[in-house]
Amino acid sequence: MNRIGQSRDTHRLKAGKSLKLGGIKIPSKVGIVAHSDGDCLLHAIAEAMLGALALGDLGAFFPDTDATYEDFDSMRILQSVYEKVRKQNYVLVNLDATIHLETPKIAPYTDSIRENIAAKLKVKKDQISVKATRGEGVGAVGRKEAIVCECVVLLKQGDRVEYL
């Protein structure tokens, strides 16, 4: 059986904060305002996996009201969620994520981000798609006030993904 999940995560941006996406620190004048380390991309991926298996939202497992998760490494969040996926006998077939961010340009980092996520999930890099787009001056993203990350995942029941 296959299961599809999708998620969208939005965070405010602020000068003096760090920008971390897919576990990679990206040089930037602004960063993400969040309770955890604010890795918006990993949050969207993890929540899409939870959604695919009807397990609820990320806040149910990692509430922003719990001091335990203050400045928490989002790679640990992703790993914990993927363990839940594996315990239900599912594996990741692929994921497709989009980062909406006006600046800085993310294209120089997408390969490293893909490698980092694939390594953490113990899957092939070609199962991970990460791309970026700008707001072109429109909305909170375009005004450089926010970052939005979206993700769609396909999970397959079983212990491995078979390639043609």
Q: pLDDT per residue over 42-71, tens digit each? A: 999 999 999 999 999 887 877 777 667 566
Contact 107, 133 (CB under 8 A): no
- pLDDT at residue 96, as a whole number: 98
- pLDDT at residue 73, as a whole number: 87
- pLDDT at residue 163, as a whole number: 53
Q: Work out the pLDDT band at 162, boundaries 50, 70, 90.
A: low
Whole-angstrom distance, CA of residue 34 vs CA of residue 39: 9
Quote the mean pLDDT of the chain: 92
Average pLDDT on 111-124 reads 97
Q: Taking the CA atoms of 132, 2, 91 and 42 in sequence, report the sign of the dihedral they define.
A: positive
Strand partners, 24: 21
CA nearest neighbour of 34 among 1, 4, 63: 63
Domain layout of the chain by residue ranges: 2-157
Q: Work out the pLDDT band at 164, boundaries 50, 70, 90.
A: very low
CA angle centred on 7, ends 62 and 81, rounded to 5°:
40
Whole-angstrom distance, CA of residue 139 vs CA of residue 64: 25
User: Of 133 and 63, which is predicted with more confidence?
Assistant: 133
Q: Is the peptide bond before 104 cis (omega within 30 degrees of 0)?
A: yes
CATH classification (class only), 2-157: alpha beta
